[in-house]
Structure 1
């Protein structure tokens, strides 16, 4: 006999777990299915940034409201997620980078952000161990923050479970069933889950689950790599900084370091199917996009990524050469922190859209299917409000935000 729920959420990352939490809080009977472990993929592998700074204007009001969620998240969920409101900084080393920061300032003023442009001297005051000799300026938003990616989605999942949601980890969604043009169930590897609505928040896997409905979701998997050092001998401000590399010092004194600029794409069959849609983005960022021809292409040709049980957790190889370069760049900025040795490193696949905006949509056909995916590397910080927004769409039939920029129909 099939189990009966109001809503089934597919995907156990930050968006999926937050959606399940807010639906359960609204009194819905919720099931969350995840093919591997909760928080196994990109939601646990990002930088941990929670930022308004540098976002597209279409997302900023949502992000401002999301900051209110983050400020109360530990009291709400009853556990620590290492939330720190110490800011986000983008350090500028040349005129082009400075111009990008200056271009954001009118947007910051429009939305009343705390963002400001700093001189090199002001950067040195904020970061006492930082060598500011090459610095021209920096964009700084003191009310942005950070949290620990390894902790947040599991905390939302536990919160949802306490409110009555059922969490099915290591349970792959095989297909979405439709009756009379409306969703009616999710077929999983362990049985059928009947429901009235379905939320597809499956990150990099979303497009594959939408294919049977001929819904265009042109996402490419972009590989990002992060390394973690041992405890460094300097006490840095616990903010997220994007300079010659990207870094964040954790509460335990260790530092997560990432390659700041390079996007690494492992070529697959979808690369050729969606390539033309990404051409404008590739032209704008041609200096920062690298391509790899290797095992993932063979795996996609063999159909491995079409079987959701083949890869319970995507665990791509880190770009160790890139991380070695990043560690050297970090020492240029913080010479007293050396020598740098990585204790561990990891990589994750970001589901990247051609316009770098997510899909947050109640699909017209099939009715009852909601999509929240394509976060394009910007999803950790804004994930909780996206979960709440999808919950509102289901429970209230509306959202407080203009979701037109995030419609799936923009790719038709």
Structure 2
């Protein structure tokens, strides 16, 4: 596998940069983070009648969202994640089918390839749980898996799992759609606007200090600062959420983990008919991207730092994985690629909740690689947390309290 042309190291947002937003003196809710989680939360809160301001330090979706692979699945081991994934799939379809946003949504399913007996046994339990919640997930034979994804080698495989309703779409398009819907509902969105301080008065949030770039230099560090009063703050800052937690004295245990993806040149096969295919033992995956494929896999050694540089050695590793699991693709050429960051917690599960220490501080971060696909549903949950209502799914087990209580809630189906 050889790269051709210019290899991208950064994926830009599909949402156009907005002009400099006039910041208000006060709003009901300030959402910190302009990725899919923050924008979905802003949309739901504005639709519920609250005044909302989104603060994005860069461009919308410029963090982990625009660098995501775009997969949308409900196949998880944790019931909360199953429900969040399934609900979000409905919303993504609604955005495209009912609201007219072109997301490049393809519902060709998710196919997990299994080569370990223990994994098969565990996935059988997951399938039973997912079926009890109304999902159409099924165990497949190796032959059935090959029929769905004919480019794979079946060597070493002993089974597979498939859900036909899972999908993938273009993250930048989803960002643009949610930004449009949030603004339409009344939310304000400020880009190049960085939260630099949070004021706490009598144990609850009182204001956020914001550094906003001038129209001339577009960099918040050289812009002017303004204090904005608010009753609620939603931390949806992704891998940078730890710094926001520090402002209020709360530890959000999130570490950055680098991941790479690559996009191939067009292929002479119908890639759009193939499901999102994952070799579970290696986490090598691929799905259609235009007339080619988007491929991804972990590095040979994890990089736990804020590093977005593409590593040429990763392409060699990817080539080895392709040769082992999809040898028919070994000669394809790469036309683009980039690195992004997972926001990883100790148990690979999200942090969703309201602080028990600082009233009015809410958090939705640490999704460990499945934040994009859960974004729309998490927006609903955040809305209900702010409004002190019961969410459609019980997320109490995803609060920070699980770490202080020593009750980790590990998600097992991670890629």
Moved more, 374-383 or 191-200: 191-200
Q: Give 1:332 shift.
A: 4.5
Match of 1:232 in 2: 267
Q: Mark the CA change 1:95 to 1:321 in structure 2 (over 3 Å): closer, same or farther.
A: farther
> Does the CA contact (< 8 Å) of 2:300 and 2:317 recur in 1?
no
Aligned to 1:137: 159
When residues 262 and 370 of structure 1 are mapped into structure 2, their CA distance, relative to the original with a 3 A threshold, is: farther
Q: Which residue of 1 aligns with 2:50?
A: 28
Kept in 2: contact 1:216–1:411 (CA 8 A): no
Answer yes or no: is the 8 Å Cα contact 1:11–1:200 preserved in 2. yes
- Over 3 Å counting, the alpha-carbon distance change for 1:78 and 1:25 in structure 2 is farther
Q: Are positions 1:71 and 2:110 aligned together?
A: no
**Does residue 1:383 correspond to 2:375, yes or no?**
yes
C-alpha separation between the residues in 2 aligned to 1:263 and 1:101? 26
- In 1: Cα distance, 2:31 partner to 2:130 partner: 34
Does the residue aligned with 1:172 lie in a helix, a strand or coil? strand
Which residue does the alignment assign to 1:246? 285
Moved more, 99-108 or 222-231: 99-108
Count of matched residue pairs: 365
Q: Distance in 2 between matches of 1:262 and 1:391?
A: 39
Post-superposition shift, 1:120? 1.4
39-48 or 106-115, larger mean C-alpha shift: 106-115
Out of 258, 265, 280, the position equivalent to 1:223 is: 258
Residues 146 and 239 in structure 1, CA contact (< 8 A), matched pair in contact too? no
* Secondary structure of 2:80 counterpart: helix
**How large is the RMSD of aligned CA atoms in angstroms?**
2.2
Secondary structure of 1:195's match? strand
Report the CA distance between 1:107 and its aligned residue. Answer: 2.2
Q: TM-score, normalising length from structure 1?
A: 0.82
Residue 128 of structure 1 corresponds to which residue in structure 2? 150
| In 2, Cα distance between equivalents of 1:321 and 1:261 | 9
In 1, Cα distance between equivalents of 2:329 and 2:269: 6
Distance in 1 (alpha carbons) for counterparts of 2:31 and 2:263: 32
CA contact 1:224–1:263 (8 Å) conserved in 2: no
Aligned to 1:409: 401
Residue matched to 2:345: 353
Q: Which residue in 2 is equivalent to 1:41?
A: 63
| Secondary structure of 2:265's aligned partner | strand
Question: Cα gap change, 1:16/1:76 in structure 2, threshold over 3 Å: closer, same or farther?
Answer: farther
Shift of 1:179: 2.0
Is the contact between residue 232 and residue 338 of structure 1 (CA under 8 Å) also seen in structure 2?
no
Q: Separation in 1 of the partners of 2:286 and 2:263? A: 10
Deviation at 1:262, TM superposition (A): 5.6
Check the 8 A contact 1:223/1:263 in 2, yes or no. Answer: no
Match of 1:301?
none
Q: Please state whether the residue corresponding to 2:303 is helix, strand or coil.
A: strand
Instruction: Show CA shifts across 1:341-381 (max 9, x none).
Output: 21121111111011111111111332111111110111111
**Where in structure 2 are the equivalents of 1:12-411 lying within 5 Å?**
12-190=34-212, 191-236=226-271, 237-243=273-279, 245-250=284-289, 252-259=290-297, 264-266=302-304, 316-395=308-387, 397-411=389-403
The structure that is helix-richer by fraction is 1
SS in 1 for 2:90: helix
2:20 is matched with none
Distance 2:122 2:189 in 1: 43
- Give 1:53 deviation, angstroms: 1.0
Take 1:146 and 1:367, find their aligned partners in 2: how far apart are those partners? Answer: 37
1:98 is paired with a residue of what secondary structure? Answer: helix
